[in-house]
Structure 1
Amino acid sequence: MALTATAVKERSLLGLKDLSAAEISAILDRASYWDAKEEKMIPVLKDHFVANMFFENSTRTRFSFEMAEKRLGAQVLNFAAAASSVEKGESIYDTVRTLESMGIDAGVIRLKPIGMLEELAKRVSVPLVNAGDGNNEHPTQALLDLYTMKQHFGELSGLKVSIIGDIKHSRVARSNLWALQKFGADVKLCAPENMRAPELSTYSPYIPMEEALCADVVMMLRVQLERHTDGLIKSAEEYRLQYGLTEERAAALAPHALIMHPAPVNRGVEIDDAVVEHPQSRIFKQMQNGVPIRMAVMERALL
C-alpha cells in the first residue's frame, strides 16, 4: 500500500533539529525495548526491503544499520557509490529513484552535498533515514549518544556536555547540540578558532579547553584530516597538545564524567591511545548502542 506524503515525512528521519523532545524520547524508549531483547533476530520487518545507499565512505554506520535491519528480519540491499553507476555519472536522485522503482520500502542514505537529502525526500515516496549528510546532521549518531548518556546518568536535563574539536566540519556536533538542548542539557562548544562554526555560537558559547573539561560529558570529535587540505591544522602533535584528550587531561576529569567520541578515532590526535578504553570512556558502548537505536529508527520508518 502506497504511503501518503504525510506518512512518508513522519516516518523519515532527516535530522533532529525539527524533531520534538517527545518524538526523540519515543525513539530512545523503543531502543531500550530492543536493547533488552536477548534474541538475536526478531523478524518484524521480514516483508520489507531496505536499501542502504552510501554515497560517502562509512564502516561503523553502514554495518550498524545493516545489523539493525537484519536483526529485525528485513531484506537488505547494500549500495556503495564507488561500485555503482554514480561513478559513470548517474545522479544521486536517479539512483534513489531507480531503487525506489524496484520496490524498496525505505532507504538509508549518506551523502556529501548539503541540502540534497531534504530535496530527495520531497521527490520520493518511501521514507528516508539520514546516515549523515555533509556537515549538516547525523541524527542516529546523536540518538545513540543521548541513549548512552541517559543509560549512565538517568536523565539529560541539567547535564553539562562539552563538544570539543572540529566543530566546523561536524554533523555529529550539530545533531547533538539540537537534541541535547531540547532536553535541557547545558551544551558548550570548544574548538580552535579556524575549526569553529560561527553560526552555532548563537545557540551555544565557545569556551576554552580547560573550562570544557569541567563537564559531565566530554565529547571529543574526530579531526577530519581528509577535509583539511587547506592547512587547518599545522600538525597532529600540535593539535593533540592544545585540544587533545591526553592521559593527563583525562586523569583530571571529574570521577563521574563520561568520555565519548563518535569514531573513527584518530588515536594520538584528538584522544590518546590509552584514553580510548579508559574506565570512563564509553566509545565502544556508543557503538554497541547504535544497533538498538537504529532498530528503533528502522521500525519507525517501516511499521
Structure 2
Amino acid sequence: MNHLLTMDQLSNRMIYSLLENAGRMKRGEQKTWKGRFAANLFLEPSTRTRQSFHVAERRMQMEVLEMEAEQSSLLKGESLYDSVRTLEAIGTDILVIRQSERDSLQELSECKGISIINAGDGTGEHPTQSLLDLFTIYEEFGCFKGLTVTIAGDIKHSRVARSNAYALKQLGAEVQFSSPDEWKEPGKTYVTMDEAVASSDVLMLLRIQKERHDWEGDIPDYLTDYGLTKERERRMKSHSIILHPAPVNRGVEIDSALVECQKSRIFTQMNNGVYMRMAIIDELMGGKHNENNKCVPMERELFATM
C-alpha cells in the first residue's frame, strides 16, 4: 500500500492487519521511523485529526512539518499537485492532507515517492477516522459479524458515514441509518432514532455539518426529534456503545450528560486514533503483510491483554 485515500482500497485482511498493529502499539510496542519526514497540510479546520497525527508522528520519532495554507504557495496559485510534488522532491515521506474538494486526491496517487493519507476530502471520505472507529468497535466486541450498527445524523454530507458504512458492511456488520429527510441518501435502510436505540449494538452519532449546508430546522428541536436523549439512552441494549467522530455539539445530536456516560466511547475513539494512525504510518513506511497469517476472525484474542 503506497497511499491511503479511500476505504474501498482496503481488503478485510488489510483492515485486520492494521487493527492488529494498532493493538500492539496500544499495548506498548514501539515502532520508530527516526529521521523520516511527515508533513501535515490541513486546508480545513481540525483539532482531533491534526493533533492526533502530530502525536502519532512524534511518538514514531519522525520529523514533523506542520504546513499552514496561509503560508504556502497555494496562495500564489500553485496547484495542490505541484505542492505535493515539491514535498516529494525535497524528501518528505508522508503527507497527511485535509481539503474541501471531494475525490480530488486521486490525482495525487501518481506520486510514488511520497505516501498520501486522506485526512478528509470534503463530503468524500475519512478513512483514518473509519479505521479508528473499527478499532474501537473491535476492542469492545471482538468481531463485526452479527453486530447492528446505526449511523445517525447528517448522512448526506458526512465523509465519516460514507467510509464507515462501506467498511462495516464489508466486514459483515448490519448497517442502518437514522436521519432527517433533508439529509438522507437513497438506497439505504433508515430507521427512527427510537428504533435505532432499541436495535443497535453500536450507535454512531454524527455532527450536523453546518459549514456544508443550511439547516432549516430549529436546532433545539433536533435533539428531541433526531438525537440521543437521556430517555432514549435508557432504552439502549445493556452492552451497546455510543460513538461520535467529534467535535460534539452538546445538547444537539446528544444530550451533554451522555458524552461521558458509561456507554460512551467518544474519548476512547480519540485515544485509539493515535495508535491507529501510528499503524497506518508504519504500514505506509514499509510494514509488510504475512500472506499466510490468517487475520480473520481473531475475535477477542487480539485484545485480551488490553
- Length-normalised TM-score, structure 2: 0.89
Give distance in 2, aligned partners of 1:102 and 1:251: 55
Query: Given that residues 44 and 98 in structure 2 are in contact (C-alpha distance below 8 angstroms), is that contact kept between their aligned partners in structure 1?
Result: yes
Cα deviation for residue 188 of structure 1 reads 0.3
Give distance in 1, aligned partners of 2:138 and 2:244: 16
Q: Which residue of structure 2 aligns with residue 208 of structure 1?
A: 192
Q: Which residue of structure 1 aligns with residue 294 of structure 2?
A: none
Query: Given that residues 43 and 74 in structure 1 are in contact (C-alpha distance below 8 angstroms), is that contact kept between their aligned partners in structure 2?
Result: no
Q: Which residue of structure 2 aligns with residue 128 of structure 1?
A: 116
SS at the partner of 1:168?
A: coil
**Superposed counterparts of 1:87-236, under 5 Å:** 87-123=75-111, 125-198=113-186, 201=187, 204-213=188-197, 214-228=199-213, 231-236=214-219
Query: Given that residues 56 and 81 in structure 1 are in contact (C-alpha distance below 8 angstroms), is that contact kept between their aligned partners in structure 2?
Result: no
Q: Percent identity?
A: 48
SS at the partner of 1:286?
A: helix
- 1:205 aligned partner, one-letter code: T
Q: Does 1:291 align with 2:274?
A: yes
Q: Which residue of structure 1 aligns with residue 16 of structure 2?
A: 25
Q: Which range moves more in the overlay, 123-132 or 60-69?
A: 123-132
Query: Given that residues 53 and 108 in structure 1 are in contact (C-alpha distance below 8 angstroms), is that contact kept between their aligned partners in structure 2?
Result: yes
SS at the partner of 2:9?
A: coil
Cα deviation for residue 84 of structure 1 reads 2.7
Q: Does 1:266 align with 2:260?
A: no
Give distance in 1, aligned partners of 2:76 and 2:57: 29
Q: Which residue of structure 2 aligns with residue 5 of structure 1?
A: none
Give distance in 1, aligned partners of 2:164 and 2:96: 20
Cα deviation for residue 134 of structure 1 reads 1.3
Cα deviation for residue 31 of structure 1 reads 0.3
Q: Which residue of structure 1 aligns with residue 238 of structure 2?
A: 255
**Deviation sequence 1:207-254 (CA, Å, 0-9, x none):** 2222122200000000111222xx333221121111111111112211
- 2:225 aligned partner, one-letter code: Q
Give distance in 2, aligned partners of 1:119 and 1:57: 23
Give distance in 2, aligned partners of 1:299 and 1:144: 15
Cα deviation for residue 83 of structure 1 reads 3.5
Give distance in 1, aligned partners of 2:216 and 2:202: 25
**Deviation sequence 1:48-77 (CA, Å, 0-9, x none):** 111111111111000001111110111110
- 1:77 aligned partner, one-letter code: L
Query: Given that residues 127 and 163 in structure 2 are in contact (C-alpha distance below 8 angstroms), is that contact kept between their aligned partners in structure 1?
Result: yes
Query: Given that residues 2 and 112 in structure 2 are in contact (C-alpha distance below 8 angstroms), is that contact kept between their aligned partners in structure 1?
Result: no
Cα deviation for residue 197 of structure 1 reads 2.2
CA gap 1:302/1:77 in 2 versus in 1, 3 angstroms: same
Cα deviation for residue 13 of structure 1 reads 0.8
- 1:14 aligned partner, one-letter code: L
Give distance in 1, aligned partners of 2:84 and 2:113: 11
Give distance in 2, aligned partners of 1:59 and 1:124: 29
Query: Given that residues 155 and 179 in structure 2 are in contact (C-alpha distance below 8 angstroms), is that contact kept between their aligned partners in structure 1?
Result: yes
Query: Given that residues 32 and 59 in structure 2 are in contact (C-alpha distance below 8 angstroms), is that contact kept between their aligned partners in structure 1?
Result: no
Give distance in 1, aligned partners of 2:81 and 2:192: 42
Give distance in 1, aligned partners of 2:140 and 2:271: 14
SS at the partner of 1:115?
A: coil
Give distance in 2, aligned partners of 1:287 and 1:95: 30
Q: Extract unaligned runs of 5+ from structure 1.
A: 1-9
RMSD after superposition: 1.4
Cα deviation for residue 160 of structure 1 reads 0.4
Count of residue pairs brought into register by the alignment: 285
**Deviation sequence 1:107-133 (CA, Å, 0-9, x none):** 111111112101112245311111111
Cα deviation for residue 37 of structure 1 reads 0.2
Cα deviation for residue 283 of structure 1 reads 0.2
Cα deviation for residue 292 of structure 1 reads 0.6
SS at the partner of 1:11?
A: coil
